[in-house]
């Protein structure tokens, strides 16, 4: 009996010794894992400006994060931008941190970091006991450019006079390549284009004021470099206000019966005047949809000037409606709608041949809602001409047409009651008064002479 008891005690003693050893080995095994933490950053651009913000994700699925730090190595000196330590889960009452998202705002000037090349270093350690209890380590190093200086803008052109609903040309130079630059006229942005001059830092912008922009419109040049540094420079320009005509258009039942069947537009079935309801839907909502379509069409433009000299007008034509006419629509004596006419209506003989107003590339030739059969030509650097209500068109998309080439014939397609051409000029996505572009003197004084003066300055300066 004593022998049995002694044997049981020995076995119990062995297990009492063995169990802690096994548990310790298990703990060591679990803590000796070799899976490295992960580091992710999707918004890193490779450059750092005055206030670059990084979004960095740290993750460790096993033992959890131990420590992270972010440094910038510049001119042999290490600048610690951020560091953080995490609790170890082995301690009672503490939980391991398996992931963390850090938003870091890098301000080089605060750390005394000068512009130039540097190395961004991101390091993460986990709570593993690998590497002699130091933990698994992930380190990412990326070469970056520190650039805290905004681009300088120098205006080269002079005499920036512009009328409400008109256009203007500005030539300017930036001190470094920019990801975006151009002119703001109020909320409207007009991109700057290089390529006209050999120096790619010299850009030109055709900009415009729409029919509602007069005195007080804020006009300035803005440039943003590839690091994100931003510059603004006020553009001195003389703005002349213009009063546009007011026009009353009486909508007759015969007009509605003639034009409404052309359009497939849904209206309320219980309307007392279904044709009138359809007209209002077309004149308002369809018109807005057409404008948005036009904006998309003119988004892409050739980086060259196709055109030369003043633009052509439809030969032997009479003006039936002007640009900027403030139209009040009446039906049976009551006002039913207001719209602004954004082109000039020209009438000649029925199905008159329509010439291209200047050299350019056809970018649209199809039906376009209220405008009917329409052709849009890109003349380069954001300048477009538009020909609407055509009975036919004789050009293809992508075709280069010369000044005077016949592109179609006038007609009555779209929302119109008689044969005519609706002619428009656009700068970027803004309609402007075509009369300026028909005027040889205006084109010379406001466009051609400016470019020639800059070319002369560059040529003489290079000698």
Establish if 17 belongs to a structural domain: no
Sign of CA dihedral 417, 423, 426, 432: negative
Q: Are 65 and 206 in the same domain? A: no
Residue 24 within any structural domain of the chain = no
Burial grade of 211 (CB within 10 A; 0-12, 13-18, 19 or more):
buried
Q: Would you say 357 and 348 are in contact if contact means Cβ atoms under 8 Å apart?
A: no
Residue 216's region, left for phi above 0, alpha for psi from -120 to 50, else beta, is left
Q: What is the pLDDT along the chain (463 residues), one digit of tens a residue?
A: 566 666 666 666 665 665 565 555 455 555 557 789 999 987 677 788 877 788 899 999 888 899 999 999 999 899 999 999 998 765 544 688 999 999 988 888 888 888 999 999 999 999 887 777 678 999 999 999 898 899 999 999 999 999 999 999 999 999 999 999 999 999 999 999 999 999 999 999 999 999 999 999 999 999 999 888 999 999 999 999 999 999 999 999 999 999 999 898 876 556 678 899 999 999 999 999 999 999 999 999 999 999 999 999 999 999 999 999 999 999 999 999 999 999 999 999 999 999 999 999 999 999 999 999 999 999 999 999 999 999 999 999 999 999 999 999 999 999 998 999 999 999 999 999 999 999 999 999 999 999 999 999 888 765 4
H or E, element range at 18: helix 2-31
Within a domain: 98:
yes
Lookup: tokens for 354: 């329509």
Torsions phi, psi for 302 (to 5 deg) = -70, 140
Residue 43's CATH number: 2.60.40.1930
Nearest to 454 by CA among 199, 232, 221, 208: 199
In a domain, 287, yes or no: yes
- In this structure, the answer to whether residues 285 and 170 fall within a common structural domain is no
From the list 47, 301, 44, the residue with the least C-alpha distance to 177 is 47
Is the distance from CB of 60 to CB of 126 less than 8 angstroms?
yes
Question: Based on the domain organization, do 236 and 330 belong to the same domain?
Answer: no
| Within a domain: 138 | yes
With beta carbons less than 8 A apart as the criterion, state whether 31 and 88 touch.
no
Return the C-alpha torsion angle 97, 101, 107, 113, nearest 10: 60
Domain final residue pick, 104, 126, 146? 146
CA neighbor of 230 nearest in space, from 51, 53, 428, 109:
51
Q: What is the pLDDT of residue 25?
A: 47
In sequence order, the 6+-apart residues with CB closer than 8 A to the CB of 426 are 294, 298, 383, 384, 385, 386, 432
Domain shared by 290 and 389, yes or no: yes
Is residue 254 domain-shared with residue 403, that is, in the same domain?
yes
- Give the chain's domain count: 3
C-alpha of 181 from chain center? 11
161/250 same-domain check = no
Task: Answer yes or no: is 176 within a domain.
Answer: yes
> Which of 109, 127, 146 is the last residue in one of the domains?
146
Contact in structure between 286 and 280 (CB atoms under 8 Å): no
CA atoms of 204 and 303, how far apart (whole Å): 10
Mark whether 284 and 368 lie in a shared domain.
Answer: yes
Q: 73: domain range?
A: 38-146
Which of 146, 174, 196 represents a domain boundary (last residue)?
Answer: 146
Would you say the C-alpha torsion 148, 123, 67, 65 has a positive or negative sign? positive
Q: Identify the pLDDT of residue 34.
A: 74
Same domain for 215 and 257: no
- Residues 275 and 234 placed together within one structural domain of the fold: no
Please tell me what DSSP assigns to residue 204: E
Would you say 13 and 21 are in contact if contact means Cβ atoms under 8 Å apart?
no
pTM equals: 0.82
One domain for residues 125 and 74: yes
For residue 245 the two structure tokens come to: 């005509």
The CATH number of residue 388's host domain is 2.70.70.10
- Within this chain, do residues 185 and 227 fall inside the same structural domain, yes or no? yes
417 with 454, same domain: the answer is no
Rounded distance between C-alpha atoms, residue 195 and residue 85, angstroms: 53
Residue 133 lies in a domain: yes
Residue 395 lies in a domain: yes
Q: Are strands 238-240 and 161-163 parallel, antiparallel or unpaired?
A: parallel
CATH of the domain at 237: 2.60.40.10
């Amino acid at each position: 009996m004593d022998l049995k008891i002694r044997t049981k005690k020995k076995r119990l003693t062995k297990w009492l010794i063995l169990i802690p050893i096994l548990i310790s080995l298990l703990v060591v095994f679990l803590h000796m894992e070799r899976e490295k933490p992960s580091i992710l950053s999707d918004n890193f651009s490779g450059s750092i400006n005055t206030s670059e913000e990084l979004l960095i994700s740290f993750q460790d699925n096993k033992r959890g994060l131990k420590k992270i730090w972010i440094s910038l190595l510049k001119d042999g000196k290490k600048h610690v931008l951020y560091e953080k330590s995490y609790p170890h889960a082995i301690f009672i009452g503490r939980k391991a941190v398996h992931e963390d998202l850090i938003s870091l705002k890098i301000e080089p000037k605060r750390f005394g970091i000068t512009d130039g090349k540097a190395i961004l270093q991101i390091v993460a350690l986990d709570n593993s006991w690998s590497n002699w209890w130091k933990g698994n380590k992930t380190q990412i190093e990326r070469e970056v450019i520190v650039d805290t200086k905004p681009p300088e803008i120098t205006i080269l052109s002079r005499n920036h006079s512009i009328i409400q609903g008109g256009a203007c040309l500005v030539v300017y130079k930036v001190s470094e390549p920019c990801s975006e630059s151009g002119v703001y006229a109020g909320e409207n942005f007009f991109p700057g284009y290089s390529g006209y001059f050999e120096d790619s830092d010299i850009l030109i912008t055709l900009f415009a004021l729409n029919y509602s922009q007069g005195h007080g419109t804020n006009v300035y040049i803005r440039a943003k470099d590839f690091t994100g540094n931003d510059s603004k420079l006020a553009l001195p320009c003389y703005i002349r206000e213009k009063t546009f005509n007011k026009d009353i258009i009486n909508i007759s039942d015969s007009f509605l019966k003639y034009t409404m069947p052309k359009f497939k537009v849904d209206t309320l079935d219980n309307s007392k005047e279904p044709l009138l309801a359809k007209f209002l839907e077309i004149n308002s909502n369809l018109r807005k949809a057409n404008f948005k379509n036009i904006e998309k069409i003119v988004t892409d433009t050739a980086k060259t000037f196709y055109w030369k000299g003043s633009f052509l007008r439809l030969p032997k034509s009479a003006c039936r409606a002007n640009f900027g006419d403030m139209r009040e629509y009446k039906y049976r004596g009551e006002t039913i709608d207001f719209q602004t006419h954004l082109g000039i209506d020209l009438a000649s003989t029925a199905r008159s041949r329509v010439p291209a107003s200047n050299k350019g590339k056809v970018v649209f030739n199809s039906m376009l809602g209220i405008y009917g059969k329409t052709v849009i030509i890109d003349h380069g650097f954001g300048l477009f001409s538009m020909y609407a209500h055509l009975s036919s068109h004789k050009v293809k998309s992508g075709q280069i047409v010369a000044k005077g080439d016949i592109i179609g014939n006038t007609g009555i397609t779209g929302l119109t009651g008689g044969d005519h051409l609706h002619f428009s000029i656009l700068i970027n996505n803004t309609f402007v008064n075509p009369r300026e572009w028909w005027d040889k003197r205006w084109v010379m004084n406001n466009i051609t002479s400016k470019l020639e003066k800059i070319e002369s300055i560059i040529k003489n300066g290079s000698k």
